[in-house]
Amino acid sequence: MNKLLMKVMLFSMFCFAACQKISVTDATAESLGIHKFDGTIYEYIEQGDVALGFRYDSLELLLNQETESFKKLTNLRDMLNDVNGEYTLFAMPDECFEEASKNWRLIRKGSGRSEKLSLKELFEYEYQREVEIKNPDETDRENPTIIVTLTFDYKNSLDTLVSRYVMEGLYDFNTIYVNEDSQLSVESLNYSYEMLLNCGYGSANGIVQGGAPYLDLVDTRETLMTDRWKKARVCWMDIQCDNGIVHVLTPGHEFGFGDFISYFKNYGYE
């Protein structure tokens, strides 16, 4: 009898949650206070999200890399730590970097190349070699070819990919939702790369717009051909920090929107 009563109670709780726009899980997270973080966006990254169970160690590692010749990522860190700034970050849990690394290793293994990869080593890597090319000065008949030194490093590529997840300004769910088609075109920080913010409510029990809210960060690939766009879904949104807003991407998202492989596939084999 007690078991039957327990089953009835659990079924009633499930039915109640299914009719709401917020689930039992979300309500529990809400009670833990993850909609408000007392600190900057960078401090949120540094601390991680205990309520959601996410760490951002990989993102923090990149933001803390610095060389005399390259300070873009550390400048990005300083902006995300500036209490007078206003930024929106789509935060990538460590699992997003692991997903990109896993796919990168599979490609490398298939071509018989080394599968070793460290973000720190990737950032610090630099290789130079001399190549002979056609002399662009066609009037120089005595030297039809010239020797040039090619330098390979991946700092700018890492910065380019990270910057796609950050934009200047405050973009919470409601700000995006009130726009036409609940979409908003924005430029990523540093490189003015076009990204699309798209949100709405899903369906529930056959009722359109009756379900839980969703928010997507879309890489438009600088094309109007929507079939080439890459989408990353948010699993938790609107975390208010002292200098902006954080939306947390699902752990299944691949950091770089699939570009990690193409950017770094020749690492060590230039």
- pLDDT tens-digit profile, the chain (270 residues): 443 333 333 333 333 333 333 332 343 334 344 689 999 999 999 999 998 999 999 999 999 998 988 999 999 999 999 999 999 999 999 999 999 999 998 988 888 877 788 899 999 999 988 888 898 888 888 888 888 888 889 999 999 999 999 999 999 999 999 998 999 999 999 999 999 999 999 877 666 566 789 999 999 998 999 999 999 999 999 999 999 999 999 999 999 999 999 999 889 888
Which among 244, 246, 248 is positioned nearest to 234, based on CA atoms?
248
DSSP state of 216: E
**141 phi/psi in degrees, rounded to 5:** -70, -25
- For the chain, the first-to-last Cα distance in angstroms comes to 71
Q: In sequence order, what are the beta bridge partners of 246?
A: 89, 239
Q: Quote the pLDDT of residue 115.
A: 78
**3-state DSSP assignment of residue 132:** strand
Q: Quote the pLDDT of residue 150.
A: 82
